Structure 1
Amino acid sequence: MLQTQIAFRPITPEDLPQAWQLSKDLAWPHRLEDWEQMLALGNGFVATTTDGSVIGTLLWWAWGPQAASLGMIIVSPAWQGHGIGKHLMALARQALPGYRLHLNATSAGVPLYEKSGFHSTGVVMQHQGNVSTVPLIPLPEGCRMRPMGAADLTAICDMDKAALKLDRSALLTRLMEDGRGILVDSEKGILGFSFCRKFGWGQATGPIIALDQAFALPMLAYWAGTCAGQFLRVDIPQDETVAGLLDQWGLLRVGSVVSMSTEVVETGDAATQPPICFALCSQALC
């Protein structure tokens, strides 16, 4: 097949039905609405044939002036082996010069990304299922859980940035509009926050950001209890304690991906431990 039969260009909203079909062909759960929400927050590229058929996609999101995440990197099985994924990655890097890049890769994709300058930073475990009975997990004394309000946006954006070294203010603003948010606070201020929203085959919870597991687990249990009897998805950085609870609640581990980055981000020392990410917003958005 001649390379000249493949063209590359920025993605447009008109491409989304075909992009959605590519993800459906791989049995990915994303709805067309999920694609629309992701594109509204970012940019991307498509590979097309001479007749305009979309055969490859890549989306990217700039979280501030120095870091970005890549996702929805798909090449039609019929067109694999033509360097399409490599070319899409090159276009993304050209669009993000000097940026620290993050992505979550399948095991099959890891070698390609390693050749592009990425290295492994951890494992993300995908849990999902129809939620069974979930016991209440109490908060530490002096803490309370409450709905999130617009006045909390600045504080949660600051906490999110401290946890991930990314400025995801646009994402969190969108989640406040499209989903439901709760947080844990005390007289000392906000100790954690989380969201739940429609996604894929049901609901998804994340991000869950907190100073400690003692604040994160009650929020996770709250969302699981709220979604009892419904399909719920949670993507968590590898943690056997959290994974064990999810399994007990009927949210079984169904797969995992490798978190990768082009740069190591140093963590603080024990005296200045930053907030921790206990659940991702999604594998694409981080």
Structure 2
Amino acid sequence: MDFVAYGQKLVSIGHLIVDPAYQGKGLGKRLMLHYLSEAEKRGSAVTLVSTKSGFPLYTSLGFQTVGYAHRFQHDVPSENSQQERTSVDGDMVPLHEAALSEVIELDRVAAGVPRERMLHSVDHYKISGWAVRDSFGAIQGYGFARAKGDILVVGPLVSADADMAIRLLKPLMAGWRGRVQLDVPGVQASFQERLRGLGFRETSVSPQMLRGASSLPGRRELLFALADPAFG
């Protein structure tokens, strides 16, 4: 089970897994109660993305659905990988460690909480990372992609609008042969339609749940793909 604190305001819980041999014994609930107690001591709200099987437990513990994460997947044909590699706009730059401090500040605006530990971890494991800079050199959007087995997982992806999000997605995918996956917040309907136009298919919808607050912090309209729950 992953328990990630973002300052005092928010805690993220991910990957609550109980061995099938021990399911039905209340172990998952005991774990959740322990971590919820820790969050209450901190004065933190708690968020998670629910599975279908976990939804009744989370509801019984006081979690409310505040949105949905739509999983999109696409199998990239191998013959397209090299062609896509060259189609990068002039205001886009690869992300390096030197730019990470700017990314952290932009991400704080979007997520409403400090997520530097998560971003440093994602940066360490990334296959690719790209940013869009404006005419003054300031970063206006960014995205990361990393390999998870044989799947390229895109996220987090923060952008000013759907057009920029698509522009970032293309170089993040470039050179990858096989499946690409990203979890898109339900509010990004235009982006979801653009993904379908690129050949992505929606494979699942999962509730985003929250306990201890009425809404998630930050400017969530800037968040186009969620981070892998393993990173919080």
TM-score of the superposed pair, with normalisation by structure 1: 0.69
Quote the residue 1:130 is aligned against: 75
The residue number in structure 1 matching 2:121 is 174
* Offset at residue 126 of structure 1 (A): 1.1
Question: Please, which runs of 5 or more residues in structure 2 have no aligned partner?
Answer: none
**In 1, Cα distance between equivalents of 2:206 and 2:195:** 18
Q: Residue 233 of structure 1 is aligned with which of 181, 203, 208?
A: 181
% identity of equivalent residues: 26
- Contact 2:75 2:179 (8 Å CA) reproduced: yes
Of 153, 156, 160, the match for 2:107 = 160
- 1:111 is matched with 56
Q: Which residue of 2 aligns with 1:29?
A: none
Q: Distance in 1 between matches of 2:10 and 2:174?
A: 35
Match for 2:224: what amino acid? F
* Contact 1:159–1:275 (CA under 8 A) maintained in structure 2: no
Query: Please, which runs of 5 or more residues in structure 1 have no aligned partner?
Result: 1-57
In the alignment of these two chains, the number of paired residues is: 221
| Alpha carbons 1:121, 1:261 under 8 Å: kept | yes
- Counterpart CA distance in 2 for 1:73 and 1:266 is 21
- Normalising by structure 2, we get a TM-score of 0.84
Against the structure 1 CA distance between its residues 274 and 115, is the aligned structure 2 distance closer, same or farther, given a 3 Å change threshold? closer
Q: Give the direction of change, closer, same or farther, for the CA distance of 1:167–1:183 in structure 2 (3 Å limit).
A: same
Q: CA RMSD in A?
A: 2.5
1:150–1:138 Cα change, 3 Å:
closer
| Cα distance change on mapping 1:248 and 1:213 into 2, 3 Å | closer
Q: Cα 1:195–1:166, aligned 2, differ >3 Å: closer, same or farther?
A: same
Q: Which moved more, 1:113-122 or 1:124-133?
A: 124-133
Alpha-carbon deviation of 1:129? 3.5
Partners of 1:247 and 1:277 lie apart in 2 by 18
Please state how far the C-alpha of 1:114 moved relative to its aligned partner.
Answer: 1.7
Counterparts of 1:266 and 1:60, CA distance in 2: 17
Q: 1:264 maps to which residue?
A: 214
Letter in 1 for 2:160: L
How much does 1:77 deviate? 2.9
Matches for 1:244-283 after TM superposition, within 5 Å: 244-262=193-211, 263-265=213-215, 276-283=222-229
Separation in 1, partners of 2:116, 2:154: 18
Point out which structure has higher relative CO (alpha carbons under 8 A, 6+ apart): 2
Distance 1:78 1:113, change over 3 A: same
**What corresponds to 1:19 in structure 2?**
none
1:3-37 C-alpha deviation (Å, 9 max, x unpaired) = xxxxxxxxxxxxxxxxxxxxxxxxxxxxxxxxxxx
Mark the CA change 1:111 to 1:100 in structure 2 (over 3 Å): closer, same or farther.
Answer: same
- Whether 2:29 is the aligned partner of 1:79: answer no
* Cα deviation digits, residues 73-102 of structure 1 (max 9, x gap): 112233222111110101112232221111
- Is residue 88–residue 171 contact of structure 2 (8 Å, CA) maintained in 1? no
Q: Which has the larger radius of gyration?
A: 1
